[in-house]
Structure 1
Amino acid sequence: MSTKQIEKSTTEIQIPKDVKVNLKGSMLQVQGPLGKVYKNFKKIPVLIQINDNKILLRKTGERKKHQAILNTAKSLIQTLCTGVVDGFTIKMKIVYSHFPVTVKVEAKKVLIKNFQGERAPRISMIKGDTKVVVKGDDVIITGPVLTDVSQTAANIQLKSKVKNKDHRVFLDGIYRYSKSKGIEE
């Protein structure tokens, strides 16, 4: 094994100053101004160590796939650190042509009422600590975990999908138009 391969077998991530990171077994806890976030690395074959203000990651094998897994773990941890400091925002637009669609948030559910004149509301689930706010024709989804924010937006868009009609003609629905880092109001 050459020295270049040994250098590539480890990588380090600088922890931002407002963030605290704890490791218990394979569970990584990242705490920042916006809250706590947990990520389980049990099924991701990477060795994790925390030293001072750095997280050291070491791959478990010497193949290309182990390098790819190492980079994936690095990206996941960087996203968690960014999320607890800045957060993430996705904006969606409610689009309708004839029947006015109303969207309401109740506890951990998003109710899509009167979609194409349907009597029963379509119900979409909110994932994790994500917050959903409806302002006029906009639905604003914010939270510290990117995967939860994205999955909540995807759930809402899938629940407002047109059924049994030509989707090229009937363009009603709730569509994402903006995704950004930072929590916006």
Structure 2
Amino acid sequence: MKKLTIALASAASLAIVACAEPAEEENTMADETSMEDDAMANEGPGTIVDVASGNGDFSTLVTAVTAAELGETLSGEGPFTVFAPTNAAFDALPDGTVDTLVNEDTETLSSILTYHVVEGNLMAADVMSAIEGAGEEGYTVNTVGGGTFTASVVDGNVVLTDATGGTATVTDTDIEASNGVIHVIDTVLMPQ
């Protein structure tokens, strides 16, 4: 997308140069395009909340984070590692669960959401190393919500086992944010 934007900006600049009368206008347009490109390159990813908000697969998660009033926390300095359930993961919960949590039981919702957050910046390679170092029992992950879940490798995939014995598979990793990293999971983890 960035290359396409640069290419379009370059083509537009060439068209303006070809039609422009004064040389000053050429330089001004080129300088403005260059400054815009530099600003875009220096922005980098936003916070975890910004990154999740920009991904349609996390719209339910973003709604839940907002309802539980955790947006400011997850936009904070961090770093945080978030094991982020997709919309499909939330859709797999029993009918009405998400609506009830979002509209009536934000305390439980907050507990569930903070169960998916870990302090620190755990990249996929870090998680794999920790699993390998932990042996057959798997790696115990401490969450900011005060609970734990276990990470292990099953059939070549990283699988998280929650406090209820439920499992979630990590489907995508290392989505970087300015204050941490997101790993995508296919099931909502339950703290109890």
Aligning the two structures, in what range does the TM-score lie when normalised by the shorter sequence? under 0.3
| TM-score (structure 1 length as normaliser) | 0.23
Give the number of the structure whose alpha-carbon radius of gyration is greater. 2
Structure with bigger RCO (C-alpha 8 Å, 6+ apart) = 2
| TM-score (structure 2 length as normaliser) | 0.22
Question: Which structure has the highest strand share of the two?
Answer: 1
